[in-house]
Structure 1
């Protein structure tokens, strides 16, 4: 008779898989994707390396799922904040910048990992999806802003990519991990966010910074 998993065994498998993902995400948040080896993940869960491979096709598959989960959470936070913002395009863009940059500077190690850390091809593919989702969100806001003349007439898809690039690149100095044993000094997050906002609004053809 072939083995048929029971509800209890399925639930146990789901819990083990979720535990491996949680351990991997915690390692990434603390020390980056490079630290999330299969051995380290297994050790965090007091499990064998082989048991990790029984739930995932490989380390790339596991880390791609970790990236998708962490990045997806951040994107949903930004989308929710935009949905709760005022109806005007400048207000919504302001919320995108404040939420994205502010959360990145508060969770620096994870933000560095999601945005800049060298990663495997599978994780890089997820990163491209993540960036495209933000570009689409910003482009929608810019289209509304151009239509209402809040922003200068322009190619909103190209401008959205430029805005996302400006936000991300401006965060590098504040997110970069320390090369030594000492933690990197905390950046002046408020000044960084305000500088990003000022640059983006001016680049889009308005002096308005709310």
Structure 2
């Protein structure tokens, strides 16, 4: 007789997989991908190491799923800001401010998503999501050009430059290797940093000082 998995067993597998992901996510949030060792994740989830590999074919697959989940949240927040009130410039400004401020509020996870050295599979996910951010910005820039809120420009190139500029400007403040990382920054300093990033990006888009 062929083996047939019961509904109860399927639900148990789903719950186990969910628990593994949650525990791995917590490890990354508190210490980056480097702290999410499989043995530590297994212990936190209350499962054997082998159980993790029954749900994920490799550590890289587990990390890639965590990366997708975390980054999609941030992409959604940027998209939400870009869909808000105001002209294209105001919406772009709000989205950029959202991106930078959220990164500084959660520096460990932000560092993991933006710059932490990762396996090639996770790096491939990083590139895909940088493209997702750029596509949202590109749409808003095109809307700004059409409404004369922004000067004529290559919207695709400008959007790519925005993503690169904001990510690169956050690498230093977020880096755990720097003694003056964002966890030690005062709220005032964080606000100043966010505003300087936003000012630079908007000035680049509009061609005028703000």
Q: TM class, shorter-chain normalised?
A: over 0.9
Deviation at 1:34, TM superposition (A): 1.2
Deviation at 1:186, TM superposition (A): 2.3
Task: Give the whole-Å Cα distance in 2 for the aligned partners of 1:148 and 1:196.
Answer: 24
Deviation at 1:92, TM superposition (A): 1.2
Q: Which residue does 2:22 correspond to in 1?
A: 22
Residue 8 of structure 2 corresponds to residue 8 of structure 1 = yes
Residue 131 of structure 2 corresponds to residue 132 of structure 1 = yes
Task: Give the whole-Å Cα distance in 2 for the aligned partners of 1:176 and 1:184.
Answer: 10
Deviation at 1:45, TM superposition (A): 1.1
Q: Is the 8 A contact 1:114 1:127 kept in 2?
A: yes
User: Unaligned stretches of 5+ in structure 2?
Assistant: none
- Tell me which moved more, 117-126 or 183-192: 183-192
Deviation at 1:189, TM superposition (A): 1.4
Q: Which residue does 2:193 correspond to in 1?
A: 192
Task: Give the whole-Å Cα distance in 2 for the aligned partners of 1:172 and 1:179.
Answer: 10
Question: What's the TM-score, normalizing by structure 1?
Answer: 0.92
Q: Is the 8 A contact 2:60 2:121 kept in 1?
A: yes
Task: Give the whole-Å Cα distance in 1 for the aligned partners of 2:117 and 2:172.
Answer: 16
Q: Is the 8 A contact 1:60 1:122 kept in 2?
A: yes
Match runs of 1:152-191 below 5 Å:
152-178=151-177, 184-186=183-185, 188-191=189-192
Deviation at 1:151, TM superposition (A): 1.6
Deviation at 1:56, TM superposition (A): 0.7
Q: Is the 8 A contact 1:178 1:184 kept in 2?
A: no
User: Unaligned stretches of 5+ in structure 1?
Assistant: none
Task: Tell me the matched-pair count.
Answer: 207
Q: Which has the higher helix share?
A: 2
Residue 70 of structure 2 corresponds to residue 73 of structure 1 = no
Deviation at 1:149, TM superposition (A): 2.0
Q: Is the 8 A contact 2:165 2:201 kept in 1?
A: yes
Task: Give the whole-Å Cα distance in 1 for the aligned partners of 2:166 and 2:182.
Answer: 23
SS in 2 for 1:204: helix
Question: What's the TM-score, normalizing by structure 2?
Answer: 0.92
Task: Give the whole-Å Cα distance in 2 for the aligned partners of 1:179 and 1:96.
Answer: 27
Task: Give the whole-Å Cα distance in 1 for the aligned partners of 2:7 and 2:97.
Answer: 45
Q: Which residue does 2:110 correspond to in 1?
A: 111
Task: Give the whole-Å Cα distance in 1 for the aligned partners of 2:96 and 2:57.
Answer: 37
Deviation at 1:81, TM superposition (A): 2.7
User: Structure 1 residues 183 and 39 mapped into 2: Cα distance closer, same or farther (>3 Å)?
Assistant: farther
